[in-house]
Chains A and B, each alone.
Chain A
Amino acid sequence: QVQLVESGGGVVQPGGSLRLSCAASGFIFKTYGLHWVRQAPGKGLEWVAFIGHDENYRNYTNSVKGRFTISRDNSMNTLYLQMNRLGPDDTAVYYCVKGRAAWGLEYWGQGTLVTVSS
């Protein structure tokens, strides 16, 4: 079965950096697009970033453009999110999500918590 396991969350100071990882299994990793989605405490879901199956296409929500970078290693079945210049508004649970055709979000990991605080 599909498994997505996020790691790398934690507490970071404002202005700091963090890299999230997502280890995937149970599907042919290199053939699917992948997303990061986050949920701030007490708030709704927010789409963060997408990467195509071969890294040729990437897109970001406006609030993270220029600060976050999504990448993948198809040889390691791993998705990444490099987060720089973090601010309090980036505090959230970050989910790794396997995409499906027509922009669906097919399978979700359990999430990893990122807290930006001094």
Chain B
Amino acid sequence: QSALTQPASVSGSPGQSLTISCTGTNSDIGDYNFVSWYQHHPGKAPKLIIYEVNYRPSGVSNRFSGSKSGNTASLTISGLQAEDEASYYCFSYRSATGLVSGLVFGGGTKLTVL
């Protein structure tokens, strides 16, 4: 199963805002609002930060926000902080097309805080 497409890396300075994109197809992101985002620090368990495109779980900072347009979902982090340095993954349901079905991650984006 081919992954959703994310930039391999992004970087920003403390206090800045940045956006990570996640591009899929009309069999996944384009057709469903089942997009979620995960923050993963090395050696720790990944953490859900956005679900159903733009909802934040309790306890997640409101500096994280999600959106979607067409086949592309986006994660925006505002007021960048050193603790935000991590890898970020998008995730979506994908309907059956030929032999492909199920759930799929993006390739991951490594965020560096300068």
Contacts and interface: CB of A to CB of B under 8 A. Distances in A.
Nearest to A98: B48
A105 B38 contact: yes
Q: Contact size class for A? A: 20 to 34
A61 B47 CA distance: 21
A96 to B, nearest CB: 10
A100 B108 contact: no
B23 interface: no
Contacts of B34: 102-104
A108 B102 contact: no
A47 B91 contact: yes
A95 B48 CA distance: 14
Nearest to A50: B103
Most chain A CB inside 10 Å of its own CB: which residue of B40, B47, B51: B51
A103 to B, nearest CB: 4
User: Main SS of chain B's interface residues?
Assistant: strand
Nearest to A46: B105
Interface residues of B, number: 30
Most chain B CB inside 10 Å of its own CB: which residue of A44, A59, A61, A109: A44
Contacts of B101: 59
A46 B107 CA distance: 9
Interface of A: 35, 37, 44-47, 50, 59-63, 95, 100, 102-111
24 contacts: A44-B107, A44-B108, A45-B89, A45-B105, A45-B108, A47-B91, A47-B104, A47-B105, A59-B101, A60-B102, A61-B103, A62-B99, A62-B100, A95-B46, A100-B48, A100-B51, A103-B91, A104-B36, A104-B48, A104-B52, A105-B36, A105-B91, A106-B48, A110-B44
